[in-house]
Structure 1
Amino acid sequence: MLAVLGFLMIIVFMFLIMTKRLSAMIALMIIPILFALIGGFGKDIGTMALDGVKSVAPTGIMILFAILYFGLMIDAGVFDPIIAKILKVVKGDPLKIAIGTAVLTLLVSLDGDGTTTYMITISAMLPLYKRIGMKPLILAGIAVSGSGVMNLLPWGGPTARAMSALNLETSDLFTPIVPSMIGGVIFVLLMAYWLGKKERKRIGIMEIDQSTLVEQAAALEEDSNKRPHLLWFNALLTVALLIGLILEILPTPILFMAGFAIAAIVNYPRLEDQKERIAAYAGNALSVVSMIFAAGIFTGILSGTKMIDAMANALISHVPEALGPHFAIITAILSAPFTFIMSNDAFYFGVLPLISKAASAYGIDPEAIGRASLLGLPVHLLSPLVPSTYLLVGMVGEEFGDLQRAFLKWACGSTIVMIIVAVIIQVIPF
């Protein structure tokens, strides 16, 4: 009975968010409460929900201050010299322009927000593409490919969802797959090289008026929020923060909280300016963090009612014995099509806990399943369920279907490379 109730809850949840009848945040709170009442768990709902919220609190805090930190760094202009340098170096060579696009995308994607990444990358590079006659579709494809790999960052969304759903820490989930992420980055750079070489063969190398590049670089300096005199401080602070995250000097939420506090005081010492900057990022931060805490209710009730155990047992009984030990690699492969046909919320909060519980019967840790579930993310960004990708194709003036047809194979390539690296370094068992 519990298994049937649990599967019905997952189906109703996925149906409501995929048909846009409810937002993910509302569905994550309402649906489990409703089904807990149906199952006769009314008097325990508060305790189970609160336990779930407590379990995701560190993740929510980490995401909040990561968004604030990287948003402030972008506003202060820490990436502007890199953009200006890229524009100067690439000039009229399609090969250099394609590689420069990939480098810029990978760097700006550090903030974990696809929308911001596309706005900065397309705004900086599209005039150059048009000027020399490169295909804007290539710009969009490189941007979505780079963003797909960087989407694995803990504050990017999917990793945070996986951590929340499986109650894991950054060190359990993200740190071990950094080599896989590096493999994906190398693949994206090689892809950009190949595409750029094709464009160079098609249109050749064009001479660009230096004044055009100067105008584009100067446009980056016009914002009053820029802090060019603090460039080195901000760059060193960001590098120190990233090193601290990798070495786990302090818990991830504390590192981001401290980093943001230091950056805010140094870059915007006036209280009014600090309030203005925080308000500027509030919309993005609220939408992500509120969803994480809502997920705490969902996972808390799913676990507290023992529905997750009943569903896992039902799944295990239908898994061929020979495939059981290979749950992790199967999860890695299936994560691409699963996250393509359903939202991240549906997959990570609805499907992943079931897979993890079923895999545990074969001695596979939740950490391994969580890592495997992230490796299909390059494919996910080409899903019609991802709003930021519509912004991307709109900015370059291309059709969504054309982007999918041209770059889905490259996205699959990124996923395959990351899976191979993960298997080689044994962060997911084969």
Structure 2
Amino acid sequence: MLLLLGYGMVATFMVLIMTKRMSALVALALVPIAFGLVAASPDAVGKMMMEGITKLAPTGVMLTFGILYFSIMTDAGLFDPLIRLIVRFVGHDPLKLLVGTAVMGTAVALDGDGATTYVICVTALLPLYQRLGVRLQYLATVLLMSIGIMNIVPWGGPTARAAAAMHVDVADVFLPLIPVMLMGFAYQVGIAAYFGLRERRRIGALTMPDVENAVLADIDGSKDIRRPAMMIPNLLLTLALLYAMIKGILPLPALFLIATAIALLLNYPKLKDQHARLATHASNVLAVVSLIFAAGIFTGILSGTGMLKAMSDGLLNVMPGWLGPYMAPATALLSAPATYVLSNDAFYFGVLPILAETAATYGISAAEMARASLLGQPLHLLSPLVASTYLLVALLDIEYGDNQRSSLLWVLGLVVVMVIGALVIGVIPLVSKA
């Protein structure tokens, strides 16, 4: 029953938001409560909700101060040179804009953090998309693919989990995957170019000379809040923040809180200016953080009722015995839907070890299974369990369900390309040699 309830809950949530019967916030809060009351008492469901919210509280804090930090940096003008450079490169061509988005998104995603990548890229690129009239959904899809590829870097999270679960060195897992990531990047650039060609046909390669001037005028029109004299200190602070994130000097929520406080003090030392900056960005913070805590209800009930474990066990039971020699590609393909409905922790520490134990009897190594398990990560970014995706759709003011529906096939294509690439170059074996 728990298995059916779990899949029923996820399916109901997805149908409601994709058909726009409910907003993501309402569905995240009410759907799991309705299903949870079938499996547990009201008191137990209440405790599960609070446990889920508590577990996501650090993520909520990190996103709160992450949004504030990069918004303050934008107000102060840190990204103005980057925006000017992109404007001059893109000109008035949607094709160049989309390809530039793919390159920029992947470069910024080197830190492995989706929230940071979305804030920086949307800040720099959104004025161009709006002025040129290019669909914002294309921006969202391309950035999702950037994170789907770069989330495999060791400090991104999944690779460390897979290596730890398999008791192998992170380098043995990650380094062979670099060519596969490059293949994924080539696919991403190709899709971005396709989107760009579609937009070029729809709106044309614009020749209006005022497009560049209009975007730059938006920058120049905010001179009262710009702090050009603080460009170098702001850049050094941001680089220090990224370094501390990669090295794990402090937890992310603490790093962003400290960095936000320093940024406010450096750029807006007057109390009234600090209040003004916080008030300006409060609505963006509320839109994202409210979804995060609602997602805590979803994950708390999914886990607390035992639905999550039942879904994990169910994934293992549906695999037929004849798949044994093909466990590596089977795991690669399974990792996409598995990490969509399960958290990364549940999949890598709950499901992967069992799959790897079976694979070992056929001579498939733990490192190969770890690599295979990472190839479905692009689809994981579309999961309702991933907090940063809510940030992306909030920044672009697009519907969560629309983003799911529009991005799904392109992201699945990325997974297929990476799996095929891994098989072709021998990163994972097609069939065991035992």
TM-score where L is the length of structure 1: 0.65
The counterpart of 1:362, out of the listed 337, 344, 355, is: 355
Residues 220-299 of structure 1 aligned to structure 2 (within 5 Å):
220-223=219-222, 224-299=224-299
Residues 149 and 181, structure 1, Cα contact 8 Å, conserved in 2: no
- Counterparts of 1:425 and 1:278 in 2: how far apart (Å)? 51
Counterpart residue number, 1:313: 313
* Deviation at residue 3 of structure 1 after TM alignment: 2.8
- Counterparts of 1:72 and 1:170 in 2: how far apart (Å)? 32
Opposite residue 21 of structure 2, the aligned amino acid is R
Opposite residue 125 of structure 2, the aligned amino acid is T
Residues 6-21 of structure 1 aligned to structure 2 (within 5 Å):
6-21=6-21
Counterpart residue number, 2:143: 147
What are the superposed Cα offsets for residues 110-143 of structure 1, whole Å, 9 maximum, x if unpaired? 865869855752534787x7xxxxxx76x97984
Residues 12-411 of structure 1 aligned to structure 2 (within 5 Å):
12-88=12-88, 112=116, 117=121, 120-121=124-125, 123-124=127-128, 143-144=139-140, 146-151=142-147, 172=161, 217=216, 219-223=218-222, 224-323=224-323, 325-326=327-328, 328-332=331-335, 358-359=351-352, 361-363=354-356, 372-376=375-379
Opposite residue 264 of structure 1, the aligned amino acid is L
Opposite residue 121 of structure 1, the aligned amino acid is L
Q: How many residues align?
A: 386
Residues 106 and 146, structure 2, Cα contact 8 Å, conserved in 1: yes
- Counterparts of 2:207 and 2:27 in 1: how far apart (Å)? 55
Q: Percent identity?
A: 33
Point out the more displaced range, 97-106 or 318-327.
97-106
Residues 99 and 189, structure 2, Cα contact 8 Å, conserved in 1: yes
Residues 312 and 350, structure 2, Cα contact 8 Å, conserved in 1: yes
- Counterparts of 2:126 and 2:240 in 1: how far apart (Å)? 28
- Counterparts of 2:240 and 2:126 in 1: how far apart (Å)? 28
* Deviation at residue 413 of structure 1 after TM alignment: 6.5
- Counterparts of 2:293 and 2:397 in 1: how far apart (Å)? 27
* Deviation at residue 250 of structure 1 after TM alignment: 1.2
Residues 151 and 377, structure 1, Cα contact 8 Å, conserved in 2: no
Secondary structure of the structure 2 residue equivalent to 1:220: helix
Q: 1:356 to 1:375 in 2, by over 3 A?
A: farther
Q: 1:213 to 1:16 in 2, by over 3 A?
A: closer
What are the superposed Cα offsets for residues 333-354 of structure 1, whole Å, 9 maximum, x if unpaired? 558xx98xxxxxxx567x9968
* Deviation at residue 263 of structure 1 after TM alignment: 0.8
Counterpart residue number, 1:396: none
Structure 1 unaligned blocks of 5 or more: 130-135, 157-162, 200-204, 340-346, 381-385, 393-399
Residues 187 and 414, structure 2, Cα contact 8 Å, conserved in 1: yes
Residues 331 and 369, structure 1, Cα contact 8 Å, conserved in 2: no
What are the superposed Cα offsets for residues 319-341 of structure 1, whole Å, 9 maximum, x if unpaired? 22344744541145558xx98xx
* Deviation at residue 206 of structure 1 after TM alignment: 12
* Deviation at residue 80 of structure 1 after TM alignment: 0.7
- Counterparts of 1:189 and 1:233 in 2: how far apart (Å)? 34
Q: 1:194 to 1:48 in 2, by over 3 A?
A: closer
- Counterparts of 2:262 and 2:186 in 1: how far apart (Å)? 33
- Counterparts of 2:356 and 2:30 in 1: how far apart (Å)? 33
What are the superposed Cα offsets for residues 181-221 of structure 1, whole Å, 9 maximum, x if unpaired? 77756765687799999x9xxxxx99998x99677545422
Structure 2 unaligned blocks of 5 or more: 163-169, 200-204, 358-365, 384-391
- Counterparts of 2:373 and 2:25 in 1: how far apart (Å)? 21
Secondary structure of the structure 1 residue equivalent to 2:58: helix
Q: 1:54 to 1:293 in 2, by over 3 A?
A: same
Secondary structure of the structure 2 residue equivalent to 1:375: helix
Q: 1:33 to 1:256 in 2, by over 3 A?
A: same
- Counterparts of 1:98 and 1:315 in 2: how far apart (Å)? 37
- Counterparts of 2:370 and 2:264 in 1: how far apart (Å)? 35
- Counterparts of 1:295 and 1:196 in 2: how far apart (Å)? 34
- Counterparts of 1:17 and 1:26 in 2: how far apart (Å)? 9
Q: 1:261 to 1:237 in 2, by over 3 A?
A: same
CA RMSD of aligned residues (A): 5.5
